[in-house]
Chains A and B, each alone.
Chain A
């Protein structure tokens, strides 16, 4: 899926290699199977608010928070997937975005929701640019260390600052209206959530498309080279430091935007929820849970983890333990994450269909399952 084979902005059906493809975005191709999944997913996303309202299984707010975290995780994954830069501090950008929106709303009376979002993204990216500049010379362990330190620096500062209201957090309620306005319209509580939901869906779709494009561009390949071997990348002419700086800044855009959305949704920003390094750890884990080598993975991971965490308090109050256990299961048994494992399993789907149509091999297929699982666990140990 590389190179520009023509095509335009809108999807067109294309025949190549004897298979049917759908052409998206100037030559990026997806198979019909993937297209079906995407359309299905979009439809599901569109009707989700009504489904949730009718079935009452989840609050829309939980799904919405999950989507927002998914967006931030997609941004973080830019670093994890290609550059092998493991950042344990991205909560800093997320929290900056959230706090910017909150401060602007409460202390400066900004009422426009879009204005809050824009400001959140801007300031979040700014912080990412500064932090990126400070860490760009490092990679690997030092990078993770430093990002954690910077994240915690912001957390400590905000937590003991009177301006940011210590640990009580800052509400996102402009004085005049009490609720941020979309294009000047004030929405009631439920309608507000739905509006933010659809806005987030649109933002996420656009963000995913942009990420897809970025990842398979020259910039993306440079990141990949840096991830494989920094020294070699330097020697073939890639300006490693500046590329690292750039990718951190770009991921800051996603996180800052997600932070702003988060502020709009929760309407009250707390330091423990947005800036603590636990948040960074969860962000990183979302990427792995979903499958950090895939595009959709982090997003799926974000939604799943958030729903899991908001759901478990009904069963047990030890949701940290549960999350930790899930982490261990993923690390040792399913290192490819949800989407990654599903992609892998696709191959066995072919064999399953084949087995169905040929009863003589069906028995072999079943007996192979235990082998498959044994092999999965051993190969997970050797996963690099």
Chain B
């Protein structure tokens, strides 16, 4: 679970702090949910193991950060940030490569099969990944407060006028940059448009000569990369636990329902909505924090069952 600093404030300032927390949480969720959304939209596969990839990203980043800190010792705060982002990118790449192995060995063989076998296979992969994590990193959760404190040493009051963990700010900025990058990728770049065309009409795409096999691998690797990156980025603050992927996984599903099954904008909107809603709900009642996303989902289900946005292939 996400253990944020105890910034439970009362009154409008506290609410604003929780808004920022919610935005940060929302971006993390967006990274995970977009992975689910694109693998769902392009390959039609519901990857229940996606949360485990997120957790794996956190564990891998633990090892990566440890190794990096043995080589370099950051002095200035900016160097801490570079360490964080660099380490996260490395971890994410590792996860992406690992996911390619998974895709070739297992996922590839179930695309054409019954939905039931797809889901249950990803569930099997999830179980295996969980024990893999336990095998390599042990049962205890890992934390990395050095990195967290290091980044927080930048005094954010100079930047934005009040104190708020710089770490969170870094996350928000990185998340925004990544989101913009993702949207650019899917709207402007050739590969992105090819992927969208496969999502729109797979048969037609193969008819005009698009290699679906390679693109599926690419999409799967991309979704794993995003999940691993998210796990790595949140690790210094929240630590790495084996079960940490469960909540983001389910919330990703909620987000996909809220935002619309195939829409990247929908995932962003849904993720921010869920993040902000659930964090701000803490101010009113701690119970509400966990229940809020589901309530949102039920409301959307009853009044707009196809989600806020329409399909993935047309981003609007």
Residues in chain A within 8 A of chain B (CB atoms): 80, 84, 86, 88, 134-135, 137-138, 140-142, 144-146, 148-150, 152-153, 156-157, 160-161, 276-277, 281, 284-285, 288, 292, 318, 320-321, 323-328, 331-332, 335, 381-384
Contacts and interface: CB of A to CB of B under 8 A. Distances in A.
Given A134-B298, A288-B116, A331-B117, A149 B48 contact: no
Interface of B: 40, 44, 46, 48, 106, 109-110, 112-117, 119-121, 123-132, 134-135, 246-247, 250, 253-254, 256-257, 261, 286-287, 290-291, 294, 297-298, 301-302, 305
A80 B114 CA distance: 11
A157 B247 CA distance: 12
Contacts of B302: 134
A285 B246 contact: no
Interface of A is mostly: helix
Nearest to A280: B123
B120 A320 contact: no
A156 B121 CA distance: 25
Contacts of A381: 109, 113
Contact of B119 (A137, A284, A335): A284
Contact of A160 (B112, B119, B254, B287): B287
Contact of B135 (A156, A281, A318, A324): A318
Contacts of B294: 149-150, 153, 156
A79 to B, nearest CB: 10
Contact of A144 (B46, B127, B261): B46
A142 B131 contact: no
Contacts of A332: 109
B124 to A, nearest CB: 3
Main secondary structure of the interface of B (DSSP, over half): helix
A179 B66 CA distance: 52
A149 B254 contact: yes
Given A145-B46, A148-B253, A137 B115 contact: no
The 5 closest A-B CB pairs, nearest first, are: A327-B124, A324-B127, A321-B131, A324-B128, A153-B294
A148 B250 contact: yes
- Interface core residue of A88, A152, A326 (most chain B CB under 10 Å): A152
A149 B253 contact: yes
Given A88-B119, A160-B290, A320-B128, 12 more contacts: A84-B115, A86-B115, A138-B305, A144-B119, A152-B246, A153-B291, A153-B294, A321-B127, A321-B131, A324-B127, A325-B128, A335-B117
A84 B119 CA distance: 12
Among B119, B256, B291, chain A packs the most CB atoms within 10 A around the CB of: B119
B117 A320 contact: no
